């Protein structure tokens, strides 16, 4: 199968700069600088149908087009590599094998946006990826592909690698901007959106690693080719899926958008763990709703997954087998979110620990009938928070109530976890 992001990967080690260049690396940058205007680059990304791979799935090219080009002062590009959603590890795999696609993608995005200075905001734990990037930045600079007057053109750009101090909320783009400015990583209110007023008040684009790493291939081979990679008509390009849970092989694979869940599990994952049966899965990281066996043939793309009440998110699939307690699984996720709340707004700061307390009680066999009402209230009213953290945290709980309320009730009736 054609690989885009994993094309240069070498088993067990990082691809070298020379290998990457020999395989056509940085040709997209050469092509853009010599043959295309910044607007043409942006248009190509719009035409390609590339959507934000961090989870929101917003059209990348359109996001770029919101940036006003006539304001005085600098514009900024930030690559969001604060990958911390439970279950998600695609960016780590990508960067541990190949940092150059991202560097080239960031440079191309800067060219399209007229950005002079970009930042890669990377999770503190990703030391190997950070080392690869740091090394890659030096190599690119030495080869004249980064820094002043790239490839002897008028275009210059610097990329800084910023190691995050490490909190989940830093993945929220405005919190990330605050963190980069040296402030507390509390999200900012929107509007104004970062595209008009972001880092140090300047227009700012924040894109995910995978999103930007796709850009070189789009420029090199054209938006039509990229769009055609998808399996479904609405989709575009390839998507990294990182699978964990009750499957035989837990892998991170690059598959065409629109591949069904069944194909992913039965194909690269080698099926379920021997002797287990599929019960449910989370399709796109911890802040998405459960999918059940009836959804196994849903094409994995943004709109198709949304149609069945969940989200493709980051493409991090967590598979649960029959006999696995989903109340405990949800509790585990909520515990994470309750801990990672930034503490700014009341519903998130206080509501998530409330949910955690209720689920803990239910799981321990001390649940009451009215607890289900409490959980429902939280699913509804935790939507009215300052940022998307708490609504995201409520997604698995919403899925639990929607598809597995019987299981939840069983805990309360039996006064114990039925799976223990």
Partner 1 sequence: MPKLIIDNLPVEVAPGTTVLEAARSVGITIPHFCYHPALALASACRLCAVKMLDGPVKGIQMSCSLPAQDGMVVSTTDPEALKMRALVIEWLMINHPHDCPVCDEGGECLLQDFTIAGGHSRRRYQGDKRTHRNQYLGEHIYHEMNRCIQCYRCVRFYQDYAGGTDFGVTGSAGRVYFGRFEDGPLESPFSGNLVDICPTGVFTDKTGRFRARYWDYQFAPSVCQHCSVGCNLAPQVFQREVIKIVGRRNDQVNSWFICDRARFDKKGINDPSRPRAPRVDGEATDYEAALDALAARIYDFVEVHGPESLAFVGSSRLSLEGCLMLGELVANFDAASLSFYGDPAEAKGSQLATELLSGENVAAPADLASADCIVLLSVDLMNEGPMLAPFIRKAWLGGTKVYRIADPALLSGQQLPFDCIEAATLAEVPLEQASRAIVVCHATRTPREELSDVAATGARLAMLQPGPNGFGAALVAREHGARPFDELLAARKVRGIVAFESDLPVANLKGITVLGCADWQATELSQKAGVFLPTTTWMESTGTSINFEGRAQRFERAFRPGYPLKGLDAKYYAQSRYGEPAPGQPKTPPPQPPRIPRGEIPGGQEIEAWKAMARLLEKLGGELIVEPLTGSWQPLRDIDPEAGGERIFSLFKSSEPDTL
Q: Write out the residues near partner 1 by the rule CB under 8 A.
A: 167, 169, 184, 189, 338-347, 349-351, 353-354, 357, 361, 370, 374, 377, 381, 384-386
- Please say whether the beta carbons of 52 and 178 come within 8 A: no
Q: How far is the CB of 390 from partner 1 (least distance, A)?
A: 10
Q: How far is the CB of 344 from partner 1 (least distance, A)?
A: 5
Burial 97-106 (b: 16+ CB within 10 A, else e): bbbbbbbbbb
N-to-C CA span, the chain = 43
Q: How far is the CB of 216 from partner 1 (least distance, A)?
A: 37
**Residues near 394 by Cβ (< 8 Å), separated by ≥ 6?**
355, 378, 379, 382, 383
Q: How far is the CB of 86 from partner 1 (least distance, A)?
A: 16
Taking the least distance from each CB to partner 1, the nearer of 31 and 361 is 361
Taking the least distance from each CB to partner 1, the nearer of 200 and 381 is 381
* Residue 137 β-bridge partners: none
Residue 356: which of 87, 341, 187 has the closest Cα?
341
| 371 CB neighbour count, 10 Å cutoff | 19
SS3 of residue 76 by DSSP: strand
- Please say whether the beta carbons of 300 and 260 come within 8 A: yes
Residues composing the chain? 420
Taking the C-alpha atoms of residue 380 and residue 420, their distance in angstroms, rounded to an integer, is 30
Q: How far is the CB of 341 from partner 1 (least distance, A)?
A: 4
Q: How far is the CB of 409 from partner 1 (least distance, A)?
A: 19
Taking the least distance from each CB to partner 1, the nearer of 357 and 410 is 357
Taking the C-alpha atoms of residue 412 and residue 344, their distance in angstroms, rounded to an integer, is 33
Q: How far is the CB of 307 from partner 1 (least distance, A)?
A: 22
SS3 of residue 357 by DSSP: helix
Taking the C-alpha atoms of residue 196 and residue 67, their distance in angstroms, rounded to an integer, is 6
* Both structure tokens of 57: 């799935």
């Amino acid at each position: 199968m054609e690989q885009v992001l994993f094309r240069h990967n070498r088993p067990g080690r990082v691809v070298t700069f020379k290998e990457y260049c020999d395989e056509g690396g940085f040709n997209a940058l050469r092509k853009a600088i010599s043959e295309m205007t910044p607007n043409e680059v942006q248009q190509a990304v719009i035409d390609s149908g590339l959507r934000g791979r961090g989870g929101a799935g917003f059209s990348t090219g359109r996001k770029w087009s919101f940036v006003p080009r006539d304001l005085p002062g600098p514009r900024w590009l930030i690559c969001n590599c604060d990958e911390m959603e439970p279950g998600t590890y695609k960016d780590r795999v990508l960067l541990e094998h190949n940092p150059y696609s991202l560097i080239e993608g960031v440079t191309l995005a800067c060219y399209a946006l007229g950005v002079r200075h970009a930042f890669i905001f990377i999770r503190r734990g990703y030391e190997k990826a950070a080392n690869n990037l740091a090394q890659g930045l030096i190599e690119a600079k030495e080869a004249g592909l980064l820094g002043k007057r790239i490839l002897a053109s008028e275009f210059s750009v610097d990329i800084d690698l910023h190691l995050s101090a490490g909190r989940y909320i830093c993945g929220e783009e405005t919190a990330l901007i605050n963190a980069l400015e040296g402030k507390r990583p509390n999200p900012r209110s929107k509007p104004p959106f970062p595209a008009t007023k972001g880092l140090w008040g300047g227009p700012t684009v924040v894109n995910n690693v995978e999103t930007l790493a796709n850009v070189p291939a789009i420029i090199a081979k054209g938006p039509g080719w990229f769009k055609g990679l998808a399996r479904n008509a609405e989709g575009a390009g390839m998507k990294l899926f990182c699978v964990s849970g009750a499957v035989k092989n837990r892998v991170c694979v690059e598959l065409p958008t629109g591949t069904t869940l069944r194909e992913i599990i039965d194909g690269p994952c080698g099926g379920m763990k021997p002797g287990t049966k599929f019960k449910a899965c989370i399709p796109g990281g911890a802040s998405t709703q459960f999918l059940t066996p009836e959804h196994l043939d849903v094409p994995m793309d943004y709109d198709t997954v949304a149609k069945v009440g969940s989200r493709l998110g980051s493409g991090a699939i967590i598979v649960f087998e029959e006999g696995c307690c989903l109340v405990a699984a949800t509790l585990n996720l909520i515990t994470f979110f309750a801990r990672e709340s930034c503490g700014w707004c009341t519903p998130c700061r206080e509501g998530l620990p409330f949910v955690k307390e209720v689920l803990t009680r239910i799981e321990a066999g001390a649940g009451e009938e009215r607890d289900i009402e409490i959980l429902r209230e939280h699913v509804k009213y935790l939507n009215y928070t300052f940022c998307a953290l708490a609504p995201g945290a409520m997604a698995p709980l919403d899925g639990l109530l929607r598809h597995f309320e019987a299981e939840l009730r069983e805990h309360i009736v039996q006064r114990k976890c039925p799976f223990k």
